[in-house]
Amino acid sequence: MGIKQALKSLDAFPRAEDHLMQKTQTGAVVSIIGLSIMAILFLHELTYYITTYTVHQMSVDLKRGETLPIHINMTFPSLPCDVVSVDAIDMSGKHEVDLDTNIWKLRLSKDGLIIGTEYISDLVEKGHTDHKHDADKDHDESSVQKHHAHGFGQDAEAMVKKAKQALANGEGCRVYGVLDVQRVAGNFHISVHGLNIFVAQQIFEGATHVNVSHVIHDLSFGPKYPGIHNPLDGTERILRGASGTFKYYIKIVPTEYRYLSKEVLPTNQFSVTEYFVSVTESDRTWPAVYFLYDLSPITVTIKEEHRSFLHFITRLCAVLGGTFALTGMLDRWMYRLLEAFK
C-alpha cells in the first residue's frame, strides 16, 4: 500500500468529484473555440510535416565531356521562316553541325495561326576562330565571301520573290526544338545570316528593315525541376521603330536535383542580362537575336528532405498544449469577470 500511495502523490492531474465541478455556458463557448483552433493547428502541422523541403549545397563542378542541351521555343512575328536561320558556335570557334539537333520552324500567319512546318536538318556553319560577342561582324564578312562566287541565279530570284510575298502577307515564324552543344562557353543566335548577303539586300532593302521582334516562350538548359524559374520565359520584345540586335548574356549554373526517391536529375539554372544595339544604314551588321552563354565553375545540388517525426510531435505538443493552456486561462478570466458583475 505504501508504494501505491507514493505513486498517487506523484499524480500531476488530480480529479475533483463531479458534484464539485461547475459547468457554464461561457466555458462551453471557450471550449468550442479552443477545440476549433486546435483542429486547425493540427491540420496545419500535419500538412507542414507531410510536405518536403529543399536543402541547397554548392561544390566545384567536375563534369567533363558532356553536352549542354538548349531548349528553344521562340516566335518571330515579323520574320518569315524562309529567312530565319539558327547558328551555334562554341568558345573554340568550332561549330557543331547537326549534333543531335532537333529544330523545327512553324510558319505563322498574320493572325498567329500555323500554316506550315519546316525541319532544320543542319545549322549554318561558319568558321569562327575567336570567341567574341560581336561575332556577327565576322559572320557577315564570311557570308559575302562565300556567296559572292555563287552569283545571283534563278534559285535566288525565286527565294527573293517567295520571301517578299511572305513579308507582304505578314507571316511570322516559330522556332522550337533542342540544340545539343559542347559544354563550353559559346553562343547561338537566330537571324537572317543564313541568307546570301545579296539575297538579303534584295528582300529587305537594307539591314534597318529587318525586324527581329520576338517572344521567348521557353528557353532552358536542361529538364525542369520543382520550383525552377527560367528568367527569360515569357519575355516579349517588340520593335516599333528602328531595328537592331538583341544580346542576352547568360550565366549558366550546373544543377543537380535529388528527389526523396534518390533519383538524380542533372540540369542547369541561369541568370541573364540584356543588351540592345540599334542598327543604322552605315552599319555592316545585320540584326539578330544573340544568346551568349558561359558556365559557372560551381554546381548547385538541391536535395529534397523530409521532416522528422519527432520534430512533428514536438511542434504538435507545443501548439496544442499552448492552445489548451490559453483557453483555460481565458475561461477563468471570463468566469471571474461575470462573477464580479453579478
DSSP string, 147-201: HHTT---HHHHHHHHHHHHHHHTT-EEEEEEEEEEESSSEEEEEESTTS-HHHHH
Q: Which residue has the cell 521567348?
A: 216
Task: Tell me the three cell numbers of residue 88.
Answer: 551555334
CA 190 to chain CA mean position, Å: 20
- DSSP state letter for 44: H
Which CA distances in Å does 284 have to 86, 151, 171, 180, 233?
Answer: 20, 20, 26, 30, 31
DSSP state letter for 125:
P
- Chunked mean pLDDT (size 10), the chain, 342 residues: 72 63 74 88 92 92 84 92 86 54 85 76 41 42 44 72 87 90 89 82 85 94 92 92 91 94 93 92 86 94 92 91 86 78 72
What does R_g of the chain's alpha carbons equal in angstroms?
Answer: 34
Burial of 139 (0-12, 13-18, 19+ CB in 10 A): buried
Cell triple for 138: 565576322
Strand partners, 58: 300
State the Cα angle at 207 between 176 and 131, rounded to 5°. Answer: 65
What does 207-265 look like in DSSP terms, one character per residue?
A: GGG----EEEEEEESS---TT---TTTTEEE--SSS-EEEEEEEEEEEEEEE-TTS-EE
Length of the chain: 342
- CA 91, CA 133: separation in Å to the nearest integer? 10
Sheet with 114-120, strands from edge to edge, namely 114-120, 102-108, 172-182, 67-76, 214-220, 235-237
- Say what the pLDDT of residue 98 is: 36
CA distance 54 to 104: 36
Give the pairing type, strands 53-60 and 214-220. unpaired
